[in-house]
Structure 1
Amino acid sequence: MSRILWVGSPGGDDHPSGRWLNTYIWTVPGDDPYGPAGLPRANGDNYVWATVSNTHETKPAIGAVVEFYFCHYGNAPQRSARLIGSSHIDIAPRTSEDVLCVVPLRERRDGCLQVVVRHWLDALPTDWAPMVERYWNHHTQVGYLNLRVINAPAGTIEAREFEVAAPGADSTNVEVHLIEGFPTGDYRDQILSRSGLDAAIPYDAGLAAFGLSLTPNPTPGWEGVKQLRLNLPHGESQMAYILTQTADGPPGFMGLNAVTHADGRIQGGVSLIVVRRAEWP
């Protein structure tokens, strides 16, 4: 792993959730790709952007190909990656470039974004494919954004479906842990602003009850289920659900991360922002 070409800023995978919460991948909903960033809209066009970087001291990446993929909302691509489009860019030494996918994204379901930068200066392994990325063998030329926002009336139980898979695991025993938490500082502000949220909104760790489930229908005590144990044969996946119920209170937000473990290693994850505010665009 040479770490010359990056999706995002060099060193961006140093954050614990950096593998699936890449703040240098974002969407612009609507007809103007140069409009404000925000969450993808189900009915209409959404343009995808990414920042790519070249850390080489002297060599440019001329004609680098940047590929944009849409995947199921889940902890690993697992057979679902679909190419949206690709762009070409020249990346000078020690510089970064913002790249637009000129083909708009049109989807009616939740999903993850995957961006790949390809160039001989920092080539991916010949057997690498978007559908079978092994999360602990992280490549800086590949970035993911597995983030969704929930804004529901207080008292409403929301069920957010996501796909659990561990394509690189040796064992078939997989665990999912649901953890409350969110990045801080500039990283936090960039995630919020590129999700169409005000960076000044306060964090509230008690904003919502939350739990994991294998069905979208809550059962008694659902908010106490913070871990699932699954047996997943190689190459297969299973749907699970993050359940949330927002409490009454002033505007605020909280973060949730569903992290998948196998073989004693993190396989990947998805993140949620649960928002409580009076208005929603």
Structure 2
Amino acid sequence: MSAHILIRDGSPHWWLSTDVWVVPGNDPNGAPGAPLSGQKAYVWAHVDNIGDADAQNVRIDFYWANPAGQMTAGAVNYIGSGYADLPADPKEAMGQDVLCLVPWQVQIVNDGHECLLAVAHGAGDSNPIPDPLPASFSFDPPAHDQIAQRNLSVLDASKMAPMLRIAVNGLPRQDKRVRLTAEFGGELDQRQLQRLGLARLQLRPAPKPEVQVRLSLEPSCGGKSAGEKASDARVPSLAVSVPRGATVPVYLDIQASQLHPDHYQLLHIVEHDDAGKPLGGVSYVVIPQGKENRL
């Protein structure tokens, strides 16, 4: 008999977990929503035990990281922990909502657009992970049920920064080469909309790409990198080489002037290895100008 601790992954991409969410402001029991840069927020995770043995004093560690695809333990920032006793519940999987006991002071580096992770450690788990995690540990939620990521941010078309930055993290002992691609489409379910504080806006998913995206290794001015011709097409994918132990910044330019006022655009920036396997990603919900003021 053993416990089996579970924090569910998201769909269609694992980094869209609805079992990790944020409550902005000073009340941890307030309404879920998007974190605000420079302000306090609380982070929660929903944790289940689908095994056939109770799990006592399970510790859930919470982390934030700058937007990135593949992430290692050495590239994330610890927020705090929460604790739960999880009875065996293989059929009902009711689980518990667990609060990180330390508030998250949202960094202003990326205007609040950060990635969150929840990692559960429990004695007797059927698939344990190292505790503490070594810096070289690569987070791989599909391979570890007790790890979940939430790399999903809301972008108001009227307030977007000129460039967003995504980190491509290297491996500790070897170089790597990856490709970042921009993927459009998909629909947020009601739970996702509620977690983001978007349910009241009554927006519909864009039926086709309505925003333009450019990925670059250099920051751009007015949507173009230095030396780029005005006639150059926008680049929906980018090859990136990363020396071992290093981090390479990639710059994301989003133009949303053509987004319908009643639509939202779901955008995924996915990191793939040489074989095309997804290693991770960052997702954005682009909403029309001024809609965020109604949240």
Fold-level similarity (TM above 0.5): yes
Counterpart in the other structure of 1:260:
271
Is the CA contact (8 Å cut-off) linking 1:134 and 1:167 kept in structure 2? no
Q: 2:21 aligned to 26, 48, 64, which one? A: 26
Q: 2:180 aligned to 176, 183, 186, which one? A: 176
How many percent identity over aligned positions? Answer: 26
CA deviation after TM superposition for structure 1 residue 165, in Å: 2.4
Once the two structures are superposed, residues 223-275 of structure 1 have per-residue CA deviations (whole angstroms, 9 ceiling, x without a partner) of 62011111112222211122111124322201111111114121111111111
* Letter of the 2:262 counterpart: P
Counterpart in the other structure of 1:68:
62
Distance (whole Å) between structure 2 residues aligned to residue 131 and residue 49 of structure 1: 26
Q: Secondary structure at the match of 1:26?
A: strand
Distance (whole Å) between structure 1 residues aligned to residue 245 and residue 253 of structure 2: 26
Counterpart in the other structure of 2:209:
206
Distance (whole Å) between structure 2 residues aligned to residue 147 and residue 169 of structure 1: 29
Is the CA contact (8 Å cut-off) linking 1:259 and 1:268 kept in structure 2? yes
Distance (whole Å) between structure 2 residues aligned to residue 210 and residue 263 of structure 1: 22
Distance (whole Å) between structure 2 residues aligned to residue 202 and residue 189 of structure 1: 12
Distance (whole Å) between structure 2 residues aligned to residue 165 and residue 275 of structure 1: 28
**1:237-256 mapped onto 2 (5 Å cutoff):** 237-248=247-258, 249-256=260-267
Distance (whole Å) between structure 2 residues aligned to residue 181 and residue 278 of structure 1: 22
TM-score by length of 2: 0.82
Is the CA contact (8 Å cut-off) linking 1:166 and 1:262 kept in structure 2? no
Distance (whole Å) between structure 2 residues aligned to residue 134 and residue 68 of structure 1: 13
Is the CA contact (8 Å cut-off) linking 1:4 and 1:55 kept in structure 2? yes
Distance (whole Å) between structure 1 residues aligned to residue 141 and residue 120 of structure 2: 19
Q: 2:44 aligned to 26, 46, 49, which one? A: 49
> Closer, same or farther in 2 for the Cα pair 1:257/1:263, shift >3 Å?
same
CA deviation after TM superposition for structure 1 residue 56, in Å: 1.0
> Closer, same or farther in 2 for the Cα pair 1:202/1:221, shift >3 Å?
farther
Q: Secondary structure at the match of 1:132?
A: coil
Q: Secondary structure at the match of 1:102?
A: coil
TM-score by length of 1: 0.86
**1:224-243 mapped onto 2 (5 Å cutoff):** 224-243=234-253
Distance (whole Å) between structure 1 residues aligned to residue 130 and residue 70 of structure 2: 18
Is the CA contact (8 Å cut-off) linking 2:141 and 2:148 kept in structure 1? no
Is the CA contact (8 Å cut-off) linking 2:173 and 2:245 kept in structure 1? no
Counterpart in the other structure of 2:192:
191
CA deviation after TM superposition for structure 1 residue 124, in Å: 1.1
Cα RMSD after superposing both structures? 2.6
Is the CA contact (8 Å cut-off) linking 1:169 and 1:263 kept in structure 2? no
Distance (whole Å) between structure 1 residues aligned to residue 120 and residue 195 of structure 2: 21
Is the CA contact (8 Å cut-off) linking 2:117 and 2:150 kept in structure 1? yes
Aligned residues: 270
* Letter of the 1:195 counterpart: L
Distance (whole Å) between structure 1 residues aligned to residue 161 and residue 271 of structure 2: 23
CA deviation after TM superposition for structure 1 residue 108, in Å: 1.8
- 2:154 matches 1:149: yes
Is the CA contact (8 Å cut-off) linking 2:4 and 2:50 kept in structure 1? yes
> Closer, same or farther in 2 for the Cα pair 1:221/1:90, shift >3 Å?
farther
CA deviation after TM superposition for structure 1 residue 103, in Å: 0.9
Distance (whole Å) between structure 1 residues aligned to residue 252 and residue 164 of structure 2: 5
Once the two structures are superposed, residues 140-196 of structure 1 have per-residue CA deviations (whole angstroms, 9 ceiling, x without a partner) of 111111112210229x78421111125389662211111112245xxx222222111
* Letter of the 2:291 counterpart: E
Distance (whole Å) between structure 2 residues aligned to residue 222 and residue 35 of structure 1: 46
> Closer, same or farther in 2 for the Cα pair 1:22/1:137, shift >3 Å?
closer
Mean Cα deviation higher: 194-203 or 114-123: 194-203
Distance (whole Å) between structure 2 residues aligned to residue 21 and residue 255 of structure 1: 11
Distance (whole Å) between structure 2 residues aligned to residue 116 and residue 129 of structure 1: 13
> Closer, same or farther in 2 for the Cα pair 1:273/1:3, shift >3 Å?
farther
> Closer, same or farther in 2 for the Cα pair 1:223/1:190, shift >3 Å?
farther
CA deviation after TM superposition for structure 1 residue 138, in Å: 2.2
* Letter of the 2:165 counterpart: E
Distance (whole Å) between structure 1 residues aligned to residue 232 and residue 184 of structure 2: 16
